[in-house]
Amino acid sequence: GDFANEVDTLVIGSGPGGYVAAIRAAQLGQKVTIVEKGEMGGVCLNVGCIPSKALIAAGHRFHNAKHSEDMGIIAEKVSINFEKVQEWKASVVKKLTGGVEGLLKGNKVEIVRGEAYFASENSVRIMDEKSAQTYNFKNCIIATGSTPIEIPGFKYTDRVINSTGALALKEVPKKMVVIGGGYIGIELAGAYANMGTEVVVLEGSKQILGGFEKQMAKVVERRLKKNGVEFKMEALAKGVEETKDGVKVTAEVKGKEEVFEADYCLVTVGRRPNTDEIGLEQIGVETTDRGVVKIDKQCRTNVSNIYAIGDIVEGPPLAHKASYEGKIAAEAIAGEKSEIDYLAIPAVVFSDPELASVGYTEAEAKDAGFDVIASKFPFAANGRALSLNETDGFMKLVTRKEDGLVIGAQVAGPNASDMIAELGLAIETGMTAEDIALTIHAHPSLGEITMEAAEVALGTPIHIV
C-alpha cells in the first residue's frame, strides 16, 4: 500500500557514518529507520577499510614467510591459494556486516532495503525492484558516501579496475599498473607486491602519498622499491588499450611517452560524493560544484532538519571521521550541544611500514604561526623494533615551544596505526611533552618510542645522543 511511514530520524546509507548515527539516535530515544540500497556497512566494511586490511594482512604473512632468512627462518615452497585468501576475506567482511545488522536491530533501528530519494523536506521515497514506499521524517541524516572517480579514457572493465575490482580479483596478477599513488593505491600496490605481483605505480606529482610529509612517504617508497615496485613520478596516464589477456597503458612520463603492459590497470585517483542522485536539488540542499554538501558545526545542512556526514561532506574521507560526525549529527538532533572539532583526526596508511599522522605537522604548525619543537626518535634505536626485525621509520612529535603542549605527531613505522592513538589522546586532553615523558611505558615496546620522542623535545633522551 502507499500509506506513509512516520519516523523521528531517517538515516540514508549504512556505512560507518550512517550506522553509527542511527545507533546513537536510537540511544537518545528516537524512532529511527536506516535505508540501504546496497550492502549493510557501506564501502568501509564491504569494499574499503576491512577487506583491504584483510588482503594486506595476507600479503604480509606470505611475504614474511618467504623473507625471514635474517631471523634464521627458511620456509621452502611457500605458496598462496588466492581463492582461499578471498574466502577468508569474505568471511571477515560477513562477520562484521552481520554484526552491524545485529547492533542496529539490538538498538531497535528499523532497516529498510532500497534506494532513497527526497520527495520533500520531510519525506523520502524508498524504491526497490518491486515496490516504492514513502517515509515521513522529522529529521534526516544523509550518509550516502562516495564512489571511485573514473578518468577519461579509462572506463572500468574486467581489466581496468578500481579499488572494488582490485579487492575482488580471482588471481594474484603477474603484473599490475597502478594509476595514482594516494593511500588507496599505495596500500593495494603493497598488498599485491607482497603476494608476488610486479607493480608499477604511475603518480602525477613528484611524491606519492601527497597528504603526508615527504620524509614519511620516502620510508614507504623505499620499502616498496625493495619489494620490486617501480615508480614513475610526474606521469600522466593517457589511455589504456585492452589486449587479449591484459592491458597496455600509455602514459607521458616527464614529458616522454611510455607504454606499460600488465594484466590489470588499477585506477585509484580519488572518489566523488554520492550526492547527485538523491534529489537534493528538489529540496534545496546546497552543495559545492564538486557535489560536497555544505554543513555547519553540527553537521546541519542549509535545510535545518537535514544533516549530512561522512564522505559527502568536507574533510578527509575516512571511516572514523564519518562515525564521529554521525554521533554529532544524532546528538544535535536530540538537542545536545555537540560540535565538530577536527583537531585530532588521525590519518593512517596501512602500508609497509605504516604511516600515521594526527594534529599538526611541523610545517602546518609553522604556517599557523606556532613556534614549535619537532622532536624525532628512530625505530632503529628501540629494542622492540629491533627484536621484531622492523627498524625502518621514525616518530616525530610537534610540541609548542612556550609550554610544551603536544599539537601534532607523525609516525612512520610498524604499528603506527596503533601508536597514533596515544598521541591523539595527548592532543585531545592537552598533554605536554613532559606528561608523556613522565608516563612509564612498558619495556620493551614500540610505545617507548613515544616516550623517547617526548624526551628528545625536553632535551633529555636516554637512548640517542
432 is in an annotated binding site: no
Cis peptide before 444 (omega within 30 of 0): yes
Q: Which residue is nearest to ligand FAD (CB)?
A: 145
Q: Which is nearer to ligand FAD, 349 or 437 (CB)?
A: 349
- Contact (Cβ atoms closer than 8 angstroms) between residue 375 and residue 401: no
Beta bridge partners of 113: 36
What is the closest distance, in whole angstroms, from the C-beta atom of residue 184 to ligand FAD in the complex?
5
Q: Which is nearer to ligand FAD, 167 or 224 (CB)?
A: 167
203 is in an annotated binding site: yes
462 is in an annotated binding site: no
Distance (Å, whole) CA 328 – CA 222: 40
What is the closest distance, in whole angstroms, from the C-beta atom of residue 228 to ligand FAD in the complex?
22
* CA dist list (Å): 410 to 100, 187, 375, 399, 420: 32, 18, 10, 12, 8
Q: Which is nearer to ligand FAD, 412 or 451 (CB)?
A: 412
What is the closest distance, in whole angstroms, from the C-beta atom of residue 274 to ligand FAD in the complex?
5
Single out the residue of 441, 421, 433, 448 nearest to residue 373, CA to CA.
433
Single out the residue of 167, 176, 141 nearest to residue 19, CA to CA.
141
What is the closest distance, in whole angstroms, from the C-beta atom of residue 167 to ligand FAD in the complex?
6
Distance (Å, whole) CA 7 – CA 11: 10
Q: Which amino acid is at 117?
A: Y
Q: Which is nearer to ligand FAD, 330 or 433 (CB)?
A: 330
445 is in an annotated binding site: no
145 is in an annotated binding site: yes
- Contact (Cβ atoms closer than 8 angstroms) between residue 245 and residue 263: yes
What is the closest distance, in whole angstroms, from the C-beta atom of residue 176 to ligand FAD in the complex?
15
Q: Furthest-apart CA pair in the chain: how many Å?
A: 77
- Contact (Cβ atoms closer than 8 angstroms) between residue 45 and residue 100: yes
What is the closest distance, in whole angstroms, from the C-beta atom of residue 160 to ligand FAD in the complex?
16
186 is in an annotated binding site: yes
N-terminal to C-terminal alpha carbon distance within the chain: 77
Q: Which is nearer to ligand FAD, 124 or 453 (CB)?
A: 124
Q: Which is nearer to ligand FAD, 14 or 410 (CB)?
A: 14
* CA dist list (Å): 42 to 176, 254, 309, 339, 409: 27, 38, 13, 24, 30
Q: Which is nearer to ligand FAD, 163 or 410 (CB)?
A: 163
What is the closest distance, in whole angstroms, from the C-beta atom of residue 23 to ligand FAD in the complex?
13
Distance (Å, whole) CA 164 – CA 343: 31
Q: Which is nearer to ligand FAD, 21 or 451 (CB)?
A: 21
What residues are labeled active site? 443
Beta bridge partners of 262: 247
157 is in an annotated binding site: no
What is the closest distance, in whole angstroms, from the C-beta atom of residue 142 to ligand FAD in the complex?
9
Distance (Å, whole) CA 442 – CA 410: 21
Record the cell numbers describing residue 29, joined without a space.
530515544
- Contact (Cβ atoms closer than 8 angstroms) between residue 203 and residue 232: yes
Residue 372 CB-density burial (10 A; 0-12 exposed, 13-18 middle, 19+ buried):
buried
User: How many CB atoms within 10 Å of residue 256?
Assistant: 8
- By residue count, the chain amounts to 465
183 is in an annotated binding site: yes
447 is in an annotated binding site: no
What is the binding site for ligand FAD (CB under 6 A)? 12-18, 35-38, 42-44, 48-49, 52, 115-116, 143-146, 163, 184, 274, 278, 310-311, 317-320, 322, 350
Sign of CA dihedral 320, 326, 328, 331: negative
459 is in an annotated binding site: no
Binding residues for FAD: 53, 144-146, 311
Binding residues for NAD(+): 180-187, 203, 270
